[in-house]
Chain A
Amino acid sequence: MKLFMTTAVSALTVLGGTAAMADIKLGASVSASGPAAFLGDPEAKTIEMMVDQINEEGGINGEKIDLVLYDDGGDPNKARTFATRLVEDDEVVAIIGGSTTGTTMSILSVAEDAEVPFISLAGAIQIIDPVHKWVFKTPHTDRMACEKIFSDMQKKGITKIGMISGTDGFGASMQAQCKDVAPKYAIEILSDETYGPQDADMTPQLTKIRNTQGVQAILNPGFGQGPAIVTRNKAQLGIDLPLYESHGVASDGFIELAGAAAAEGVRLPGTALLVASILPESDPQKPVVTAYKAAYEAKYGETVSTFGGYAHDAVDLMSHAMKTGGNDPAAIRDALEATQGYVGTTGIYSFSPEDHLGLDLSAFKMLEIHDGGWTLID
């Protein structure tokens, strides 16, 4: 809240004091506090850092970006209010934000009505399918994570799996997407278990999966403490099956919570940002992720997260589009849609009128935890 007040106030003083009407106004509404703060906090920090960087380097074609950043606290109603304020009072030419699918959906309808380009930072496939004219997004979808995992299973000859999913929004959405896309990879889900986001012990569910005949691997779509407890419980029960986690836990914190011994051999799809240091020099994303990681960690003294990376790509994409589109929302939108081969931290984006996500499966790297660290599988 304080963050947004100071930003808003300084934005106002800049406006009133210098009458810099030529500045390009960029709006943002993220969940920097509240239950989705783990998403919005690094996103807000990244957006501020990126805008400062762009302005220090001379801005967009000589014009500074004027950032108006709000904290919607993860509340879709607040997000709608702030989005309306951004287009009506602040008169921004573009919006970045919507840390969660809920807040994104609120901002989406406002942006569509006001005809302002909007880059969402949330995961759900519904944001870009069907395509909305003014809406883009940077994070890959749950479905892509499922597909990445299933294609890795296919390579290892796994065809029958047990699933144990969290009942929170993230887990439930990914569970549904995985079940939907499994037949495409000839994967059969023999056992489909769930657990509550605050549960302390998943050994009954895992025992059931172990006792199901023919299960060759376990997949755990989930977020927060659940996956760490599942990983520990699987080690406790001594279940000797490959365990796949989701991209939701792709962070060093997961290895720490699950314990290096229990997490040994766990596979999950993650982004290049997570494994910046072990990427081969030939990887096109290497310079982008290394630069962002270094800048963020130097400025804030905390480890970068995938979520901050989504915001990095959104600001970068938007500023590139502003170079051609200038101060005109419609021109910025057209420039965004024409973006081809932009290398971000999450992947390489190529938008088209039919595809407002612009990523393919190569955006995910298959990672395996080994000796308490990450290794690249492909």
Chain B
Amino acid sequence: MDALLQFLLSGVTVGAVYALVALGFTIIYNASDVVNFAQGEFVMLGGMITVFTYQAGLPLPLAAVLAIAITSLVGVALNKLALEPARGAPVVSLIIITIGASIFIRGAAQLIFDKQLHRFPSFSGDQPIHILGATLVPQSLWVIGGAVLVFIGLWLFFTKTLTGKAVLATANNRLAAQLVGINTGWIMTLSFALSAAIGALAGVLVTPITLVGYDVGVGLALKGFAAAMLGGMGNPKGALVGGIALGLLEALTAGYLSSQYKDAVAFIVILAVLFVMPQGLFGKSTTERV
């Protein structure tokens, strides 16, 4: 029984990491239909910048805020320098541009920072919390809390604010959005800044658990992307549920079946879900809402 609970806690912890990364995909996708494959690099930058500013002597909260701010600027620069010049290009070309950007950011991080793995202290210590014989590190609660808060924030943003609706309108039909007076260029800049900030926040929260190095972005982006696809691309609820579901699947497979098949089982389930529901678990509601 305590084993099952341990598997569930592990699954929720890992799932919250995936969910945070998946949530970062939503805004850019909603604004432009582009799946931003540099999203993992935003997570990496959030972690790396925090590590290095913290080592330079800044207090941890300030280092984290600085990392989020700088990463947002990187996001804006990515939009201005790489995506805006190719505005007329089809979505597939834009997605390929983000893959190129991710390789570039990874290379730059390797030169600017270093090639080693890093970590900074957990926010609330490392003393594990015991729940009915299973354990959880306090940082997991930060990650889970962060994922839930970002989810609520995004949900409010897209349903309750005019700017959020403008983002959705821009994705739906850029020309029509312009005609009703939406500054689509600004919306794109905003969506990249917000996505990068969410990515960096994820990096700050997960680094004490997953550790950070210049190349961790690829793996995180892959799992985050899988989670977002499972839940339904572009829907914050889908990202949250998809992430947690993926984490639980992996943990339960590792626990009860075999850790060798952990990733395989997770991806087979995703394929099966997408076969029945090509839009993902919650994908349909997004298209209806717009």
Q: A and B: partners?
A: yes
CB 8 Å contact bits of A189-220 with B (1 = contact, 0 = none): 00001111111110111011001000000000
Q: By the criterion CB–CB under 8 Å, are B117 and A203 in contact?
A: no
* CB-nearest residue of chain B to A200: B210
The reply on A353 being an interface residue by CB < 8 A is no
The reply on B251 being an interface residue by CB < 8 A is yes
Q: By the criterion CB–CB under 8 Å, are B255 and A204 in contact?
A: yes
Contacts A35-B215, A237-B135, A238-B128 known; A207 to B259 CB distance under 8 Å?
Answer: no
Residues of chain A within 8 A (CB-CB) of B119 are 228, 256-257
Count how many chain B residues have C-beta atoms less than 8 Å from C-beta atoms of the other chain.
Answer: 38
The reply on B274 being an interface residue by CB < 8 A is no
Q: By the criterion CB–CB under 8 Å, are A225 and B117 in contact?
A: yes
Stretch at the interface among B6-14, B78-86, B155-163, B226-234: B6-14
Residues of chain B within 8 A (CB-CB) of A37 are 110, 115
Residues of chain B within 8 A (CB-CB) of A237 are 6, 128, 135
In the bound complex, CA of A111 to CA of B59 (Å):
54
Residues of chain B within 8 A (CB-CB) of A225 are 117, 210-211, 213, 216
Residues of chain A within 8 A (CB-CB) of B10 are 201, 203-204
The reply on B124 being an interface residue by CB < 8 A is no
The reply on B58 being an interface residue by CB < 8 A is no
The reply on B168 being an interface residue by CB < 8 A is no
Q: By the criterion CB–CB under 8 Å, are B135 and A204 in contact?
A: no
* CB-nearest residue of chain B to A207: B6
Count how many chain A residues have C-beta atoms less than 8 Å from C-beta atoms of the other chain.
Answer: 36
Contacts A198-B219, A211-B3, A225-B213 known; A236 to B260 CB distance under 8 Å?
Answer: no
* CB-nearest residue of chain B to A40: B115
Contacts A205-B254, A225-B117, A238-B128 known; A195 to B17 CB distance under 8 Å?
Answer: no
The reply on A102 being an interface residue by CB < 8 A is no
Q: By the criterion CB–CB under 8 Å, are A204 and B259 in contact?
A: yes
The reply on B206 being an interface residue by CB < 8 A is yes
How many residue pairs at the A-B interface have CB separations less than 8 Å? 98
Residues of chain B within 8 A (CB-CB) of A321 are none
The reply on B99 being an interface residue by CB < 8 A is no
In the bound complex, CA of A344 to CA of B119 (Å):
33
Q: By the criterion CB–CB under 8 Å, are B135 and A228 in contact?
A: no
Q: By the criterion CB–CB under 8 Å, are A200 and B251 in contact?
A: no
Contacts A193-B259, A200-B13 known; A38 to B211 CB distance under 8 Å?
Answer: no
Q: By the criterion CB–CB under 8 Å, are B126 and A204 in contact?
A: no
Contacts A204-B251, A236-B135, A257-B211 known; A38 to B3 CB distance under 8 Å?
Answer: no
Instruction: Give the residue of B7, B17, B110, B255 whose beta carbon is less than 8 angstroms from that of A200.
Output: B17
The reply on A287 being an interface residue by CB < 8 A is no
In the bound complex, CA of A164 to CA of B211 (Å):
19
Most buried by B among A164, A195, A197: A195
* CB-nearest residue of chain A to B262: A196
* CB-nearest residue of chain A to B130: A238
Most buried by A among B3, B10, B210, B216: B10
Interface residues of A in 157-216 (CB under 8 A from B): 164, 193-201, 203-205, 207-208, 211
Q: How far is the CB of B44 from chain A (nearest CB, A)?
A: 12
Q: By the criterion CB–CB under 8 Å, are B259 and A41 in contact?
A: no
In the bound complex, CA of A204 to CA of B11 (Å):
9
The reply on A372 being an interface residue by CB < 8 A is no
Residues of chain A within 8 A (CB-CB) of B210 are 198, 200, 225, 229
Residues of chain B within 8 A (CB-CB) of A195 are 254, 259, 262
Contacts A204-B254, A259-B126 known; A41 to B115 CB distance under 8 Å?
Answer: yes
Q: How far is the CB of B190 from chain A (nearest CB, A)?
A: 30
Contacts A35-B215, A38-B116, A224-B117 known; A201 to B209 CB distance under 8 Å?
Answer: yes
Q: By the criterion CB–CB under 8 Å, are A228 and B259 in contact?
A: no
The reply on A261 being an interface residue by CB < 8 A is yes
Instruction: Give the residue of A33, A196, A205, A236 whose beta carbon is less than 8 angstroms from that of B137.
Output: A236
Interface residues of B in 101-137 (CB under 8 A from A): 110, 115-119, 126, 128, 135, 137
Q: By the criterion CB–CB under 8 Å, are B255 and A208 in contact?
A: yes
In the bound complex, CA of A256 to CA of B121 (Å):
10
Residues of chain B within 8 A (CB-CB) of A201 are 10, 13-14, 209, 251
The reply on A341 being an interface residue by CB < 8 A is no
Q: By the criterion CB–CB under 8 Å, are A196 and B263 in contact?
A: yes
Residues of chain B within 8 A (CB-CB) of A33 are 110
Q: By the criterion CB–CB under 8 Å, are B7 and A207 in contact?
A: yes
* CB-nearest residue of chain A to B10: A203
Q: Other CB < 8 Å A-B pairs besides A229-B209, A232-B126, A236-B128, 12 of them? A: A195-B262, A200-B17, A203-B7, A204-B10, A204-B254, A204-B259, A207-B7, A225-B211, A229-B210, A257-B119, A261-B126, A262-B126
Binding site for A on B (CB under 8 A): 3, 6-7, 9-11, 13-14, 17, 110, 115-119, 126, 128, 135, 137, 206, 209-211, 213, 215-216, 218-220, 223, 251-252, 254-255, 259-260, 262-263
11 A-B pairs with C-beta separation under 8 A? A37-B110, A198-B219, A200-B14, A200-B206, A201-B10, A204-B254, A204-B259, A208-B255, A236-B137, A253-B117, A257-B117
Binding site for B on A (CB under 8 A): 33, 35, 37-38, 41, 164, 193-201, 203-205, 207-208, 211, 224-225, 228-229, 232, 235-238, 253, 256-257, 259, 261-262
